[in-house]
Amino acid sequence: MFGRLTFDSLPFYSIIAFGGAAITVGVGLAILAILTWFRLWGWLWRNYLTTLDHKRIGIMYVVVALVMLVRGFIDALMMRGQQMASATGHGFLEGDHFQQVFSAHGTIMIFFMATPFMAGLVNFVLPLQLGARDVAFPFLNALSFWLTAGSVGLVLISLVIGVFSTAGWVGYPPYSGIERNPGVGVDYWIWALFISGFATTMTGINFIVTIMRHRAPGMTYMRMPIFVWTVLCSSVIILIAFPALTVAVALLGLDRLFLTHFFTADHGGNLMNFTNMFWMWGHPEVYLLVLPAFGVFSEVVATFSGKKIYGYSAMVKATVLIMFVSMLVWLHHFFTMGASATVNAVFGISTMIIGVPTGLKVFNWMFTMYRGRVRFHVSMYWTLGFMVLFVIGGATGVMHAIVPVDYNTHNTAFLVAHFHNMLVPGVLFGFVAGYMYWFPKAFGFTLNQKWGIRAFWGWAIGFTLAFMPLYALGLMGLPRRTAEIYNPDFLPLLIVAFIGALCVLFGIVALVVQLYVSIRDRAQNRDLTGDPWDGRTLEWSIPSPPPAFNFARIPIVDQIDPFAAAKRAGGKMQYEPAGPVELPVPTIVPMVIGVSGFVLSFAAVWYMWWLFVLAALVMLGAVIGRSFVDNNEFRMSQREVDAALRGSAGRAGGVQ
């Protein structure tokens, strides 16, 4: 009945694991209680659970990402604490508990923080920047979100029932194989990646089609905002790279479940194939995350310099070049696997080539500020912080591409410092800058500037203190994933790194306080114009928050930054003639499929095959049932549109 799920699967084996489970369950219950107490279930059902509106789906993605950021950060704090404590003793994480925390941190931050954050920002912004009413496939969009939410649930429940993987976020066999790791941990990891991999692939398809088919009239490819270009390239990467991961974890699952020999060391299996397939996804993954962050920085720099982006066409070409080359570098993750010198050198050089378009981008952001009027909005802080810290990470990245240097830094703390240097100032700073930039568009009031800047300093200083010592520790030979520090000489640097983590903790608290203060003072910070930052692209030409249909009349575009040009000319934007609007009908089906996906994966992890079949049937039934629904769009007449526009804002800034 319950497969291999027994009472022993509950986390009573360690106080820390039990505490983590208690917090997870407690927070979950608290949210349910708040929703019930304030009678918010109806509101939640109407506005979020059943919505197909890209803006609301985007908001849900970002909420998931922020929650998982906190969860992933707690893991990070525990690891910093354990390494520091174990330099003089054994620390507090017993057995392979450190490795669970490590694996959860990596998996969460990449798959369930960065990726949903990206998907959320893009979901919200993309149709608005294109002058579109929604993404190309609203139902598919909601389905992607709910499948992602299902896999997030799977990772969260692994803390309460059973254990998480100890094989790291990369899950290399043979360590992740059934012989060495017969428990449920690796299975949780496989199923979470498998389901969210599907979801992300569908998201990529959705974004590509939206960009190709739903641009406003006159918006040629070379008039699209840079952010849209980065999303297009990032989506192409998703489409090409994600199947490699999905197949890799599926084959690993077959090895574990049916004792096949795809990746075993014996019986003709080849464990190096997993490494190759994982990084054929894994390296492009970094670029599909960082490209939209580059897009955010481009928008922020242009807006707050009051200028068009410097070298638009060079920026576009650089983005496309990064997209192509990003798929030709994966081998640099295992120069130490013993390939010939020529193979290693070719991949080393192809990796460095990415430095050329990336360097060009950094210069173009610099020269966008040149002869501009730079306003130091909080998003600008994140952008400048990114530019300063990211080039350091870029330099250490190039060092890793120099093959013999990589031999000496691979698998050490130096490597850990390098990729955090790309992912924290690069990806996360970008997404947070975007969050603070577009927040007023989403909710109709601006975020508190003061707490935003405090959060920035917490993150920037914290990042520097936490990771610069790791570069030094790496050169001292400290292997990554070391649970017990074997050399007490490392203690001083580990203390500095821990202090850095505490500064980041302050940064996270400041983000929460910022949200609280901003909501409390929202009456004073209302964005009545829809254009609080003197924006340049189409999303700022509509009220904040935008009505469900985004654009009452579809704008006509004749150049880059059309809204800025219209404002400068003192004239109005050009619009297509008014007409009725068609919007998708809300539906619960995506959520049903997402929840079933969660149940199905959970059942598979615990070998509860009857439940697995049941959940699969529900999913299948929902898909088939949905295909018989014909009335999945409703029409708003021009009068209803006008009424909605007046109701939602009545403050369209005289532009609409």
Which residues from 458-497 bind another protein, rule CB under 8 A?
475-477, 479-487, 489
Q: Which is nearer to another protein, 221 or 486 (CB)?
A: 486
24-43 residues in contact with another protein (CB under 8 A) are none
Query: Whole-number minimum distance, CB 641 to another protein, in Å?
Result: 34
User: Rule CB under 8 A: is residue 309 a binding residue for another protein?
Assistant: yes
Query: Whole-number minimum distance, CB 403 to another protein, in Å?
Result: 4
The Cα–Cα gap between 546 and 539 comes to 9
User: Rule CB under 8 A: is residue 366 a binding residue for another protein?
Assistant: yes
| Cβ pair 121, 66 in contact under 8 A | no
The Cα–Cα gap between 406 and 400 comes to 5
Query: Whole-number minimum distance, CB 49 to another protein, in Å?
Result: 41
Q: Which is nearer to another protein, 15 or 343 (CB)?
A: 343
Q: Which is nearer to another protein, 93 or 465 (CB)?
A: 93
User: Rule CB under 8 A: is residue 363 a binding residue for another protein?
Assistant: yes
Pick one of 73, 227, 278, 310: the residue that binds another protein (CB under 8 A): 310
Four-CA torsion 159, 172, 246, 249, nearest 10 degrees: -70
Q: How many CB atoms lie within 10 A of CB 624?
A: 9
The tokens describing 225, both together, are 């905002």
The Cα–Cα gap between 331 and 342 comes to 12
Q: Which is nearer to another protein, 13 or 172 (CB)?
A: 172
User: Rule CB under 8 A: is residue 352 a binding residue for another protein?
Assistant: yes
Region from 396-404, 510-518, 573-581, 626-634 binding another protein, contact rule CB under 8 A: 396-404
Q: How big is the site for another protein, counted in residues (CB under 8 A)?
A: 93
The Cα–Cα gap between 308 and 299 comes to 9
The tokens describing 544, both together, are 């904040």
Exposure string (b/e) for 131-154, b if CB count within 10 Å is 16 or more?
A: bbbbbbbbbbbbbbbbbbbbbbbb
Region from 399-407, 521-529, 584-592, 615-623 binding another protein, contact rule CB under 8 A: 399-407
Site track for another protein across 401-440, x = CB under 8 A: xxxxx-xx-xxx----------------------------
Query: Whole-number minimum distance, CB 365 to another protein, in Å?
Result: 8
Query: Whole-number minimum distance, CB 432 to another protein, in Å?
Result: 18
Site of tokens 């428990």: 183
Pick one of 29, 30, 44, 265: the residue that binds another protein (CB under 8 A): 265
Query: Whole-number minimum distance, CB 530 to another protein, in Å?
Result: 21
563-582 residues in contact with another protein (CB under 8 A) are 564, 568
**Separation of CA 105 from chain center:** 14
The Cα–Cα gap between 408 and 254 comes to 35
Site of tokens 């952008």: 383
Pick one of 288, 387, 511, 622: the residue that binds another protein (CB under 8 A): 387
User: Rule CB under 8 A: is residue 213 a binding residue for another protein?
Assistant: no
User: Rule CB under 8 A: is residue 646 a binding residue for another protein?
Assistant: no
Pick one of 31, 257, 349, 519: the residue that binds another protein (CB under 8 A): 349
Q: Which is nearer to another protein, 99 or 379 (CB)?
A: 99
Site track for another protein across 98-117, x = CB under 8 A: xx------------------
Query: Whole-number minimum distance, CB 253 to another protein, in Å?
Result: 19
- Quickly list DSSP for 251-274: HHHHHHHH---SS-SSTT--HHHH
| HSE toward the beta carbon, residue 387, CA cutoff 13 A | 21
552: left (phi over 0), alpha (psi -120 to 50) or beta: alpha
311-330 residues in contact with another protein (CB under 8 A) are 311-312, 314
Site track for another protein across 154-173, x = CB under 8 A: ------------x-x---xx
User: Rule CB under 8 A: is residue 175 a binding residue for another protein?
Assistant: yes
Three-class SS of residue 526? strand
Q: Which is nearer to another protein, 55 or 333 (CB)?
A: 333
Three-class SS of residue 636? strand
Pick one of 10, 49, 360, 644: the residue that binds another protein (CB under 8 A): 360
Q: Which is nearer to another protein, 116 or 532 (CB)?
A: 532
Query: Whole-number minimum distance, CB 284 to another protein, in Å?
Result: 20
Query: Whole-number minimum distance, CB 474 to another protein, in Å?
Result: 9
User: Rule CB under 8 A: is residue 358 a binding residue for another protein?
Assistant: yes
The tokens describing 68, both together, are 């998982």
Pick one of 46, 90, 180, 450: the residue that binds another protein (CB under 8 A): 180
Pick one of 27, 398, 468, 505: the residue that binds another protein (CB under 8 A): 398
Region from 91-99, 190-198, 523-531, 551-559 binding another protein, contact rule CB under 8 A: 91-99
The Cα–Cα gap between 590 and 622 comes to 9
| Cβ pair 597, 152 in contact under 8 A | no
Quick one: angle between helices 138-157 and 54-86, nearest 10? Answer: 20
The tokens describing 370, both together, are 């040149």
User: Rule CB under 8 A: is residue 70 a binding residue for another protein?
Assistant: no
Query: Whole-number minimum distance, CB 270 to another protein, in Å?
Result: 9
Region from 22-30, 143-151, 338-346, 426-434 binding another protein, contact rule CB under 8 A: 338-346
Residue 517: what residue type?
Answer: V
The tokens describing 306, both together, are 């009051």
Q: Which is nearer to another protein, 223 or 553 (CB)?
A: 223
The Cα–Cα gap between 250 and 256 comes to 10
Residues in the chain: 656
Residue 132: what residue type?
Answer: A
Region from 9-17, 90-98, 142-150, 628-636 binding another protein, contact rule CB under 8 A: 90-98
Distances (CA, A) of 605 to 105, 177, 261, 300, 497: 20, 14, 20, 44, 36
Residue 430's contacts (CB-CB under 8 Å, 6 or more residues apart) are 290, 292, 293, 294, 296, 297, 382, 386
Site track for another protein across 516-555, x = CB under 8 A: ----------------------------------------
The Cα–Cα gap between 650 and 262 comes to 62
Residue 449: what residue type?
Answer: Q
